[in-house]
Structure 1
Amino acid sequence: MKLLKKNWITGALALMLTISLTACGNNEQAEKVTEQTPTEVAPTEQTKPTEEQASDLSTVYPLTVVDATGESITFTEAPKQIVSLSPAETEALFALGLDEQVVGVSDFDDYPEAVTSKARMGGVYSPNEEAIIVAEPDLVVTGISMSVEATEKLRELGITIIKTDPKSVDDVIANIELLGQITDQQAEAITVVDKMKQERAEVTEAVKSLTPEQKKKVYIEFSLGWTVGSGEFLNELITLAGGVNVAADTVGWNEISEEKIINDNPDVILYNMNVKDETTQETLDQIIKARSGWDQITAIKNDAIVGLNDNLVSRPGPRVTQGLKEIANAIYPELLNHE
């Protein structure tokens, strides 16, 4: 069965930087670092400057980071031309005020609106290598799913590539902080992540009083016949929202067992509202409701089947905490304050 759907799985697989931020600092810190010694970003510590320090922050170069593949990258200055091959990272770059520095994006980028004027660099898995070379970037940001062959080829040509792979909201926040450090936009990064932390706190505060017995069982399906288990940030979003993911006993992305979902009997079903059957034009919720035996599931009996904006919840970028709020509203509409 063919489906028209956005490449949301790419977002779920996109971007984590397995480093932390020890090279952040104000001018006083900068004086303590010699020009001959690159600033090393330690993988186990993270500098978290206060909001009061934000206006004084500046990145100390040279700056060395290590990406999700273990590749060590040194920056001698802030990148001036950036290609993003991940919609999530593109959103982060624009949120950091780097519109002018972004010279190319993936074919799947659609937010913010300003990306429509950017050159297209092909797909996320197999990008257009020629287009990237022509763009002459001094930084390419991509997800872990970009092919090893394409990555090696571009690196052999001297193109700096950072691959990321977030597994939690904290990972997403760390990525944005790091991009702010690499690009010398640390004050902007603080503004972005503070908003994300506030949105996360709104949700966790609203659901903190739920007892284990009150927590609802949740099933999520964003691509026909596929769900997500533990070890992925989408599973964490369900947990943060006070839900219990019925697929948490599996790891990563999995094809579903229809019988298992019936036995799990979720209280709420979440689905991608942008998926349709190409032939019948049936939406994913219609397909789910029509499955044999699923009419006995509590969520379907109670009409607790809710469509989600896939871009908000599947892209590990600055809007992911808005996606968290959407999930929480879907599970516990009575608990969150509605404006």
Structure 2
Amino acid sequence: MSKIRSSTDHYPQRIVCLTEEPTEVLYALGEEHRIVGISGFTVRPPRARKEKPKVSAFTSAKIEEILKLEPDFVVGFSDIQADIARELIKAGVEVWISNHRSVDGILAYIRRLGAMVGAAEKADAYARKAEEQIERIQSQAAQFARRPKVYFEEWDDPLITGIRWVAELVRIAGGEDVFPQMSGESLAKHRILADPTEVVRAAPDIILGSWCGKRFRPERVAAREGWDAIPAVRDGELFEIKSPIILQPGPAALFDGLEAMHGIFSEWDRKHGS
């Protein structure tokens, strides 16, 4: 008589995560035992780097190393990983590349990934926890006397403004993104500010920097020609938001990234809002 398989056996057992957000979600859901490989850029949760082999960057991957892990499911993000996905698919591996770019997209991503590994209820509870965080901060931000105008800089050379989920989180946290029309562009090259004086004219009250892969240097920003006229520079309101908690379209942005932004905006409101 054949053994009856448990229901969880029908779900992926050997998952490779090409970016950080699926790793963070699966750990949060208690499903980390399914992960057999992760991105070398993974920092959340910290223990993942100690427990799982690192087999990919963002635009490249160790295809042969991934295949040696015998994955039954590979999870990646965005069209930038299309070539990696193509190679793995050609090798017979099942691949899911998400392409979400909004806060609602992140919430849906958590729920979809959870459902794919047989943890739909846990994923829904985790997403609802994020939604409660968003609602709490929105409610607190509604008490601000004045919403600060915010310039978010994703890169410094050339100047690149924030992507859609970042602009949405700025709004949720109590600020007003000064370049909302650019945030809808999914590709960084379409969010380049060719003329730095656009920021001067926008006159942001706060400048947030998150230079992916390197430390934000507020003194360099403040020294740009003509930028001393910007209220944020004049008042010393330049802050770094660490890229791992804001530039990954996953839980970190909804929890730590949003909390960090709101803390900065709350302090500004205390000093300048009246």
Q: TM-score range by the shorter chain?
A: 0.7 to 0.9
Residue deviations 1:124-151, cap 9 Å, x none? 2121111111111111000114443332
Runs of 5+ consecutive residues of structure 1 not aligned to the other structure: 1-57, 62-75, 277-282
Letter in 2 for 1:241: A
Determine the structure 2 residue equivalent to 1:148: 82
Structure 1 residue aligned with 2:214: 275
In structure 2, C-alpha distance between the alignment counterparts of 1:326 and 1:227, rounded to whole Å? 21
Q: Within 5 A, what are the aligned runs for 1:50-89? A: 77-89=10-22
The answer on whether the counterparts of 1:177 and 1:186 sit within 8 Å (CA) in structure 2 is yes
Query: Which residue identity is paired with 1:292?
Result: E
Alignment partner of 2:155 out of 223, 226, 237: 223
1:130-169 aligned at under 5 Å gives the runs: 130-169=64-103
More helix by proportion, 1 or 2? 2
1:25 corresponds to which residue? none
Residue 235 (1) aligns with residue 174 (2): no
How far did 1:272 drift? 2.5
Letter of the 1:234 partner, please give it: V
> Structure 1 residues 111-120 or 245-254, which shifts more?
245-254
Residue 317 in structure 1 maps to residue 254 in structure 2 = no
Instruction: Verify: 1:244 aligned to 2:176, yes or no.
Output: yes
Report matched runs for 1:158-197 at 5 Å.
158-197=92-131
Contact 1:180 1:186 in 2 (8 A): yes
SS at match of 1:111: coil
For the residue of structure 1 that corresponds to 2:33, the secondary structure is coil
Check 1:311–1:147 CA distance in 2 against 1; reply closer, same or farther (3 A cut): closer
Return closer, same or farther for 1:265/1:335 CA change in 2, 3 Å cut-off: closer
* Correspondence for 1:262: 200
Q: Note the C-alpha offset of 1:210.
A: 5.1
Give the SS at the match of 1:121. strand
Contact in 1 for aligned 2:85/2:97 (Cα 8 Å): no
| 1:21-32 alignment, distance < 5 Å | none
Distance of 2:205 and 2:19 partners within structure 1: 33
* Alignment-derived partner of residue 138 in structure 2: 204
For 2:3, the equivalent position in structure 1 comes to none
* More contact order relative to length (CA 8 Å, sep ≥ 6): 1
> What displacement does 1:335 show?
6.6
SS at match of 1:109: coil
TM-score (norm. length: structure 1): 0.70
Q: Percent identity?
A: 25
Distance 1:150 1:309, change over 3 A: closer
Query: How far off its partner does 1:186 sit?
Result: 2.1
Aligned partners of 1:97 and 1:301: how far apart in 2?
A: 47
Residue aligning to 1:24: none
Q: 1:331, CA displacement in angstroms?
A: 1.9
- Cα deviations across residues 32-68 of structure 1 (Å, max 9, x unaligned)? xxxxxxxxxxxxxxxxxxxxxxxxxx98x9xxxxxxx
Specify the alignment match of 2:28 in structure 1. Answer: 95
Aligned-pair CA distance for 1:90: 1.3
Query: 1:297 offset after TM fit, Å?
Result: 0.6
Question: Contact (CA 8 Å) 1:238, 1:244: kept in 2 or not?
Answer: yes
Give the number of aligned pairs: 255
Matched, 1:110 2:43: yes
Aligned-residue Cα RMSD (Å) equals: 2.4
